[in-house]
Each structure stands twice: as C-alpha cells, then as structure tokens.
A = this chain, B = another copy of it.
Amino acid sequence: MNKKPLILVTNDDGITSGGIKTLINIAKEFGEVVVVAPDSPQSAKGHAITIYDPLRLKEVDIYDGIKAYACSGTPVDCVKLAKHHVLKGRKVDLCVSGINHGSNASINIIYSGTMSAAMEASLEGIDAIGFSLLDYSSKADFSQGAPFIRQIISDHLNGGKGTGTLINVNIPKLTTQEIKGIKVCRQAKGQWQENYQLAKDPSGREYFWLAGDFINEDNEQDTDLWALENGYISVVPSTYDLTKYDEIDWFKSLEKIKV
C-alpha cells in the first residue's frame, strides 16, 4: 500500500472510553485516523439505527492530531455518518471498532454495538475488525492485548481482501506474556440465563431491570469460547448474510402451499 491508509475508528462505549483511546493510538501508527463515535455509552444497541429523530454530530478536540466527532446516535449511525458526511467520497481502507469493555464472543455479537458498527462498515465493502476485551471493569487494562491488535491491523492493511471482510476479535483478560496466541474459530453456541429484577419506583410503579449470566453450551474445541477459556485471542470471521443455507431444503415444503 503506497498511500497512507485511511482508518475509521468507532466503538459503542462512547468516544471518551479507555478502549477507543488505546485503539486510536494503535491505528495512528498505520495511517490517517478519523474517529466517529457515540457521545454516550451505546452498549447492546445491536444494529439499531436512528430514524425517528435527528442526529447531532460535534467535532471534538480530545485526541491530539486526530479528527474526532461525537455523534448522538448509535454505533451504526456513527459509521453511516462517517461514510456519508464526514468522509464523503473518500475510500476508507479499514474500520476498527472497540476496544469494547466486555466479551462479544458467541451470540454476544448480535447484541453488540461494537460489532454492529464493524458489520455496517463491512456492508459498505470496507474491511472491518471489532475488538473486545473480556474485562467489564472501568479500570480494564487495554494495553496487554495491544501488541496483538497492532499485528492484526497490520495484516489487514497489508494483505486484507478489501472486500468487506468482518472479523470479531475477543481478547482474554491476561497479560501480553500470558496470552498464548490467536485462534481462528467459529462462534460458539451459548445463551444468557436471565431474569428481571422487579422493583418499584418512588411513585409505587413497577419496573424491570435485566440481569443474567452467560452460559457456554458448546463443548467443541473450535469455538471462540474455547479459545478464550484456554488463553487465546479468538478471531471469528463473520457475515451479515443470515441465510441458514442448510435449512433451505427442509423448508421447501412451504412452496406447496395453495390458498
């Protein structure tokens, strides 16, 4: 790549989060970085976009020498505004999203704003990587996985397909030395075992608050959850094509319906 690459950075934890700061610092080693990220936490917003309300975009001077914009919308809104307004007409070489506070392995990719932002870039034909660290703590140390993140970004910029590939990278809560390496795997089958905390507000009206624990239901060794539990960074190539191809034949009987 001769020209300095253009890298779009976004996330779902918000533009002032520790994870995005680490990611910006890595990305700027490789090219021109532009940040468009939510002005407030947008975790678990999935692929939501804002259609009933106007969006606001504010240029912020918080990362030295980096163009950065805080957006009032969801992570996917950020990517759309980056493409259609902030970077209008420019070719983006890579979109990186994160580093998320907490796991986006297994089915968490579906709920994740971090991964949905990356998927939106992928839909637009931009290679995209979502990074997440398995540490929900506000004091999470994002630097430990940084050497791996640096290499993954370097690999993409030098040899990426450039066709809108999407990978979901999750990093275990270990030191750089403890991380055993990278495993490329499939999304594990897992599920949230949830309940709602039921309480009453000061006016006596009931409200519900979601709580739960994630359960791994997949015993195979080729999954992201296995990799993470065994000290590896997991990389899952991912897609926005939700067709379940192996069920098309099974459902063909519906074509016989006559009314």
Could you list which residues of chain A lie within 8 angstroms of chain B, going by C-beta atoms? 41, 43-52, 54-57, 74, 76-77, 80-81, 84-85, 107, 109-111, 116, 119, 123-124, 147-148, 150-152, 155, 159, 161, 165-168, 176, 181-187, 189, 191, 194-196, 198-199, 201, 205-210, 235-245, 247-248, 250-255, 257-259
Contacts and interface: CB of A to CB of B under 8 A. Distances in A.
B243 A238 contact: yes
Contact of A56 (B194, B207, B247): B207
8 contacts: A47-B111, A54-B208, A107-B123, A184-B255, A186-B248, A236-B242, A237-B243, A242-B242
Given A47-B110, A208-B54, A248 B242 contact: no
B257 A148 contact: yes
A166 B250 CA distance: 12
A148 B74 CA distance: 36
A253 B250 CA distance: 36
B111 A155 contact: no
B48 A46 contact: yes
Given A159-B253, A239-B242, 12 more contacts: A55-B208, A84-B196, A107-B240, A110-B242, A147-B259, A148-B257, A151-B259, A166-B244, A182-B257, A184-B255, A237-B244, A239-B243
A48 B51 contact: no
B47 A257 contact: no
Given A81-B196, A255-B183, A52 B41 contact: yes
A116 B52 CA distance: 18
Contact of A255 (B181, B194, B239): B181
Given A46-B49, A147-B259, A184-B251, A109 B56 contact: no
Contact of A84 (B151, B194, B245): B194
Would you list the 8 A-B pairs with minimal beta carbon distance, nearest first? A46-B47, A54-B207, A147-B259, A237-B247, A46-B46, A239-B244, A48-B48, A186-B243
Contacts of A109: 242
A45 B73 CA distance: 12
Contacts of A84: 194-196
